Amino acid sequence: MADQTYEWTVVHSENKLPAAEREAILDAPVFGTKFTDHQVVVTWEQGKGWHSPSVIPYGPILMDPAAAVLHYGQEIFEGIKAYRHQDGSIWTFRPEMNALRLQKSAHRLALPEVPVEIFVESLRQLIAVDGDWVPQPVNEKTLYIRPFEIAAETFLGVRPAQRAEYRVIASPVGPYFTGGVKPVKIWIALDSARAGRHGTGEAKTGGNYAASLLAQSEGYDNGCSQVLFLDAESATYIEELGGMNLFFVYRDGHVATPWPRRHNLARYHP
């Protein structure tokens, strides 16, 4: 239950992409390259809390070069899809769970937690103006929604920022595996770790990805399409792929889940 109701402001874009151009994009979407006509922005300030939830035209962020996020990486994000059903209606899958995961990430990165109510409403508000960007339900096409939060305070000191911004953008996407699911080659990173004990591995923060890119290019250079990280402590247990989870199903039907679940651990045998 909300102890506070938020009044949303909607500023419609005067520069919307013409329908024909939008349809051409929805015909053959390329992941993460084209964005809808609007974005959500909600601001948080120390002592004031979350305020001014708004939908505004999509466009660049005007930001001071001394904004904290640009220096110390206080940033977190989520990913969730909007699906169109055959009857034309638009759905997401249990968005409260993404809201809670964003809160967990916020806690770890010392950012303010976006209330679940604002998170869920932000998806509704964006879809209300950009619903035409949700593709028809063919060939696994969906609208990928990217909620994220950044430290927006202008300050070079090392401490949690006293001003933050929550934003939501969206981009039409096609199937993850084009041309069906085919086996892929995986590169095992032996001299690079993604997450250490009590580190930020469980938070969805950009820095984790930044730290994985070197090993990923090593993988690409060696003809692999994904990189696999081992546990940082012993470099023995299978941990996860650069951009997704993994688990093993053995011939006898048992399932091995990754470190650090400590349950049927999958071991790397050099």
Ligand X SMILES: *Cc1c(COP(=O)(O)O)cnc(C)c1O
Q: Which residues bind ligand X (CB under 6 A)?
A: 79, 204, 240, 244-245
Residue with smaller CB distance to ligand X, 167 or 204:
204
State the residue for tokens 């994904």: 226
> C-beta of 215: minimal distance to ligand X in Å?
13
State the residue for tokens 């904004």: 67
Rounded to whole angstroms, the Cα distance separating 201 from 194 reads: 7
Rounded to whole angstroms, the Cα distance separating 158 from 22 reads: 43
Q: Integer distance in angstroms from the first to the last C-alpha of the chain?
A: 52
Residue with smaller CB distance to ligand X, 54 or 142:
142
**Of residues 254, 250, 259, the one with CA closest to residue 201:** 259
> C-beta of 62: minimal distance to ligand X in Å?
28
Rounded to whole angstroms, the Cα distance separating 220 from 4 reads: 49
Residue with smaller CB distance to ligand X, 37 or 240:
240
Catalytic residue numbers, as ranges: 204
**Rounded to whole angstroms, what are the CA distances from 129 to 12, 38, 40, 150, 223?**
8, 7, 11, 24, 42
> C-beta of 172: minimal distance to ligand X in Å?
18
> C-beta of 122: minimal distance to ligand X in Å?
17
> C-beta of 133: minimal distance to ligand X in Å?
20
Residue with smaller CB distance to ligand X, 57 or 260:
260
Omega of the bond leading into 137 within 30 degrees of 0 (cis): no
Residue with smaller CB distance to ligand X, 53 or 95:
95
- Other beta carbons within 10 angstroms of residue 177's beta carbon come to 10
DSSP classification of residue 10: E
3-state secondary structure labels for all residues of 37-99? CEEEEEEEECCCEEEEEEEEECCCCCCCCCECHHHHCCEEECCEEEEECCCCCEECCCHHHHH
Residue with smaller CB distance to ligand X, 137 or 207:
207
Tokens standing for 225? 């399409």
> C-beta of 79: minimal distance to ligand X in Å?
5
